[in-house]
Structures are given as C-alpha cells and as structure tokens.
Structure 1
Amino acid sequence: MRQSLAMDVFSDKERASGTSITGLARRIPYGLGSLISGALFSAGLFALSIFLGGVISLFDPLLYYIFFRNYEKRE
C-alpha cells in the first residue's frame, strides 16, 4: 500500500528518488530502535522494550493516515 501510494504521489521522473528517500526514512529508526532495545535488554527491562516497540510501531500506520487522509488519487 505504501509503495502504491508513493508511485501515485511522485511523478515518473521522481519515483526512484522519492521511494529511496521514503525507504531510508523508514529504515533509520529501525537501526536506532535496535540500539535502544539492546540497551534496555542489557538493563534487564525486557517487558519495557517489547511494550515500547509495540507502541512505537503503531505510529507508522497512524501517521500515514493523518498525513494522507485527504489525498485524492490522480486519474
């Protein structure tokens, strides 16, 4: 769904750059999340790490809805 929306939002000329940037914006937090989660695991805070991961992962679809709810598809 995300890639389909990106293909519609970006022009033909911008698609490669646009999907690369959006992919990078999604993957950088995964790396930071692993670092933070590792620190929490080392401190013995297993449940907190899993809980925070679940809560944070809910932000992805929520933010997509907020930013693109009024988007009208091109014909």
Structure 2
Amino acid sequence: MNRYLRNGWHGLLAGMALLAALLQPAAAADVGSRITWPDVQLIDGRVLQAADLNRRTVIVEFWGSDCPFCA
C-alpha cells in the first residue's frame, strides 16, 4: 500500500472516530412531558402557530420521499 493511500485511510478513520465521538443521541422526552413546538410554515404559505395547537393532542410523522421505507 503506498504512502498516500495509507495516509488517506488513516485520515478517514480518524474523521469517522471523531464524528462518532461527537454525535451523541438526543435525549428523549419523557412520556407525558411537554415539549416546545416551533411555528411552522405550511406548503400554501400559511403559518401554523404553536398557540393553535394548545391543549390538543398532536401526532407528528416525519418521512422523506426518497426513503424506501417511508414511501
């Protein structure tokens, strides 16, 4: 293995190790706890304000059109 290829692999492995160390899973909210909800701009341009959802149960589904498991 030549020197440039070996250094490239070492750099890649070091970068992956650094990324793995920095990416910690987000803390999950406790069941029944309240979360802060941002105002959201809808596709038609209207804004859904957090106050409109006050004291209501909201189900949020996140998906992507390019995800084979989501479509």
For normalisation by structure 2, the TM-score amounts to 0.32
Computing the radius of gyration from Cα coordinates, the structure with the larger value is 2
Bigger share in helix: 1
Which structure has more relative contact order (CA 8 Å, sep 6+)? It is 1
